[in-house]
Amino acid sequence: MSQETILSDQQIRLARYAKALGHPIRVYIMEYLVKNANRCCYSGDLSMELPIARSTLSQHLSELKDAGLIQGEITSPYIRYCIHQEHWEEARQLFEGLFV
């Protein structure tokens, strides 16, 4: 029996969300976006908040975006990042279900 056979889609998605949130900087970014009234910010705003290189910040944002937790809108020369509401809610529900 292969690993894929016994794993549900929900388990696979939960693991992807957990991996994306598996670094304190990415947790900070998500908390920052959640606390922001419109749940969006520009990458430049985050670079002033965090004592890390812009390239490192970009990698963290990319990981969150690849997992579907955030989405980016390019308004040249800026990128605006927002919480992907549907996926963020799904992640919350999946984590909640894990700790029941």
> Which tens digits make up the pLDDT trace of 16-42?
999 999 999 999 999 999 998 788 999
* Residue with more model confidence, 75 or 86: 86
In 3-51, beta strands by DSSP E: 40-42
> Could you tell me the residue range of the domain that residue 43 belongs to?
9-98
**Is residue 39 in some structural domain?**
yes
Does 2 have pLDDT greater than 80?
Answer: no
| pLDDT attached to residue 77 | 84
* 43-57 confidence digits (pLDDT tens): 888 999 899 999 999
DSSP annotation of 7: -
**Is residue 2 in some structural domain?**
no
User: How far is Cα of residue 2 from the mean position of the Cα atoms in its chain?
Assistant: 29
Exposure of 44 by Cβ count < 10 A (0-12 exposed, 13-18 middle, 19+ buried)? middle
Only one residue has tokens 């290189």, namely 53
Domain count, the chain: 1
Q: Under a CB-based contact definition with an 8 Å cutoff, are residues 69 and 23 in contact?
A: no
CATH of the domain at 68: 1.10.10.10
36 is written with which tokens?
């922001």
**Is residue 71 in some structural domain?**
yes
Does 1 have pLDDT greater than 60?
Answer: no
**Is residue 1 in some structural domain?**
no
pTM: 0.89
Q: Under a CB-based contact definition with an 8 Å cutoff, are residues 70 and 84 in contact?
A: yes
**Is residue 3 in some structural domain?**
no
